[in-house]
Amino acid sequence: MFTSLQVPSQCSEVHYEVELGVVISTGGKNIPESSALSHVGGYTLALDMTARDIQSAAKKKGYPWSVAKGYDTFCPVSSFIEKDKIVLDDCRLWLKVDGETKQDGSTKNMIYSVPFLISYISGIFTLEPGDVIITGTPEGVGPVKPGQTLTAGIEGVLEMTFPVVSA
């Protein structure tokens, strides 16, 4: 259990990415888009932290990126959000660094819809209850430094705050 976001000493540039998380309640394989939302139990707010320097170096070499998103504390999520609290057609997500708005977008601008993502992913592997799908971030990603404070929210639903520390 972590209560702060760590910037590891190995990383020179750690970026925030605020994202909607989809919590799967009923698993399945090859789920059609038309029934995908019946597999959703609720939502969560996620910060998909990314070591951009590590990711960029891996991309150039054709190496896997997993490590760039895998440091301790890199994907904090909020408490569980009941399904009927989120209006998927237009859910506003925002992120502030030290109180200054950096990201402010709506799920209406998603490149891939939640039903598409569930259908696509379940065509690759079986989804299980409790799996969380994070769904991509609005414009405005950028670096965060130790000493700053990240606050992210879903308008009208919840917000969460993390101090950023070095590790």
- Which residues here bind its own copies, judged by CB under 8 A? 8, 10, 29, 59-60, 62, 64-67, 70-72, 123-126
Please identify, using beta-carbon distances, which residue of 42 and 146 lies nearer to its own copies: 146
Please identify, using beta-carbon distances, which residue of 9 and 79 lies nearer to its own copies: 9
Task: Work out how close the CB of 59 gets to its own copies at its nearest, in angstroms, rounded to a whole number.
Answer: 4
Task: Work out how close the CB of 2 gets to its own copies at its nearest, in angstroms, rounded to a whole number.
Answer: 10
What six digits make up the tokens of 8?
């590891």
Please identify, using beta-carbon distances, which residue of 87 and 132 lies nearer to its own copies: 132
CB 138 within 8 A of CB 23: no
User: Which residue blocks in 27-162 are alpha helix, DSSP H?
Assistant: 52-61, 114-122
Task: Work out how close the CB of 129 gets to its own copies at its nearest, in angstroms, rounded to a whole number.
Answer: 16
Task: Work out how close the CB of 64 gets to its own copies at its nearest, in angstroms, rounded to a whole number.
Answer: 5
Please identify, using beta-carbon distances, which residue of 42 and 65 lies nearer to its own copies: 65
CA dihedral 21, 27, 32, 33 (to 10 degrees): -20
Edge to edge, the sheet with strand 81-82 lists: 81-82, 40-47, 18-24, 132-134
CA dihedral 40, 138, 98, 9 (to 10 degrees): 90
